[in-house]
């Protein structure tokens, strides 16, 4: 389960390059302590909520956006397997909104389209398409 | 009461082309006899199924776009169910979705029409000075 969710979130998140280089100080880098921390990682200074005081976020996470809203895709059709397959995990499950960032109205259409595609054997119910 | 439906059905992979034609023409006859209209016939060809259906791993996908009443669809589904070569079928009503898409499209067109004037002025100005 955990393995699968990690796979699904990976493309939606900012790669590790945004994170501070903790190689120099493996233990100190993790625990923020005063002004030292600010000077330590200048790379994240531009982030919106990257360094919000001690005990804040450890690393920067990009805001997820709805693919359908951004690319103005209105037609979510059960025949468009390429589109639907992006929102189906390896196991055949529909990837939840919290991982993909799809907005509620679009997720509703998406899930019904995926279910229709499953019915007509375009997408698997479980497991990979054989 | 005319509605538009999409009938997608899968026939056995070993079904001959002539037999498919025969099946389609009988369905078309059933549609026209009950006051409907076949708008489009599409052969999507042979594809691998996402899961086994009646011990088949492949199937020939056919798509019919039909305009007619609910009773007609009921009759068509009954026919598909009794036809041995058809291994799976799915009927989707598409007119309401199409209406929604047309509305969005019209809205976008209208918005585009209202926005050009300032854009044209902006593009004219440098041309005049140049």
B97 to chain A: which residues are within 8 Å by CB? 75
Any domain includes A95: yes
For testing the chain B interface, which of A79, A120, A126 should be mutated: the one with the most B CBs within 10 Å? Answer: A120
pLDDT attached to residue B88: 92
- Burial (CB count <10 Å: 0-12, 13-18, 19+), residue A122: buried
From the list B70, B65, B48, B69, the residue with the least C-alpha distance to B57 is B48
Angle at CA B124, nearest 5°, toward B123 and B130?
A: 100
Three-state secondary structure string covering chain A: CHHHHHHHHHHHCCCHHHCCCCCCCCCCCCCCCCHHHHHHCHHHCCCCCCCCCCCCCCCCCCCCCCHHHHCCCCCCCCCCHHHHHCCECCCCCECCHHHHCCCHHHHHHHHHHHHHHHHCCCCCCCCCCC
Asked if B5 and B76 count as a contact pair (C-beta separation under 8 A), the reply is no
Nearest CA in chain A to B98: A75
| Domain encompassing residue A79 | 67-119
A119 at B interface, C-beta within 8 A: yes
B46 to chain A: which residues are within 8 Å by CB? none
Which one is predicted more confidently, A60 or B5? Answer: B5
Mind listing the pLDDT tens digit for each residue in B53-81?
A: 999 999 999 999 999 998 899 999 999 99
Q: How many domains does chain A have?
A: 1
What gap in Å lies between CA A64 and CA A84, rounded to an integer?
18
Cβ pair B48:A130 closer than 8 A: yes
CATH code of the domain covering residue A73 = 4.10.640.10
Interface predicted TM-score (ipTM) of this complex, two decimals: 0.77
Asked if A123 and A117 count as a contact pair (C-beta separation under 8 A), the reply is yes
The pTM of this model reads 0.66
Of the partner residues A74, A78, A121, the one whose CB lies closest to the CB of residue B50: A121
Query: Domains along chain B?
Result: 3-93 (3.30.70.60)
Any domain includes A56: no
Cβ pair A130:B52 closer than 8 A: yes
A123 at B interface, C-beta within 8 A: yes
Any domain includes A48: no
Of the partner residues A75, A79, A121, the one whose CB lies closest to the CB of residue B49: A121
Any domain includes A31: no
- A45-54 per-residue burial string, b: 16 or more CB within 10 A, e: under 16: eebeebbeee
Mind listing the pLDDT tens digit for each residue in B102-129?
A: 998 899 889 888 876 554 544 454 444 4
Would you give per-residue pLDDT tens digits along chain A (130 residues)? 444 444 444 444 444 444 444 334 444 334 444 334 443 444 444 444 444 556 666 667 777 788 888 888 888 889 988 999 999 998 989 999 998 889 999 999 999 999 999 999 999 998 775 5
């Amino acid at each position: 389960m955990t393995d699968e969710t990690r796979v699904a979130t990976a493309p939606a998140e900012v790669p590790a390059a945004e994170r501070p280089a903790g190689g120099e100080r493996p233990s100190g880098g993790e625990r923020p302590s005063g002004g030292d921390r600010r000077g330590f990682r200048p790379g994240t200074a531009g982030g919106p909520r990257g360094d919000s005081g001690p005990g804040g976020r450890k690393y920067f996470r990009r805001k997820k956006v709805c693919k359908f809203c951004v690319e103005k895709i209105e037609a979510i059709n059960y025949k468009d397997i390429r589109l639907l397959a992006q929102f189906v995990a390896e196991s055949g499950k529909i990837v939840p909104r919290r991982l993909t960032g799809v907005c509620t109205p679009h997720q509703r259409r998406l899930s019904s389209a995926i279910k229709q595609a499953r019915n007509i054997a375009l997408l698997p119910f479980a497991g990979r398409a054989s | 009461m005319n509605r538009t439906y999409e009938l997608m059905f899968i026939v056995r992979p070993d079904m001959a082309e002539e037999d498919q034609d025969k099946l389609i023409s009988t369905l078309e006859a059933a549609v026209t006899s009950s006051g409907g209209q076949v708008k489009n016939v599409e052969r999507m060809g042979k594809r691998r199924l996402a899961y086994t259906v009646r011990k088949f791993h492949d199937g020939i996908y056919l798509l019919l776009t039909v305009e007619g009443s609910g009773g007609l669809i009921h009759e068509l589904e009954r026919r598909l169910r009794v036809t041995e070569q058809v291994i799976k079928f799915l009927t989707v009503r598409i007119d309401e979705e199409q209406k929604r898409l047309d509305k969005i499209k019209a809205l976008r067109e209208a918005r585009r029409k209202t926005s050009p004037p300032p854009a044209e002025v902006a593009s004219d100005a440098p041309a005049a000075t140049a």
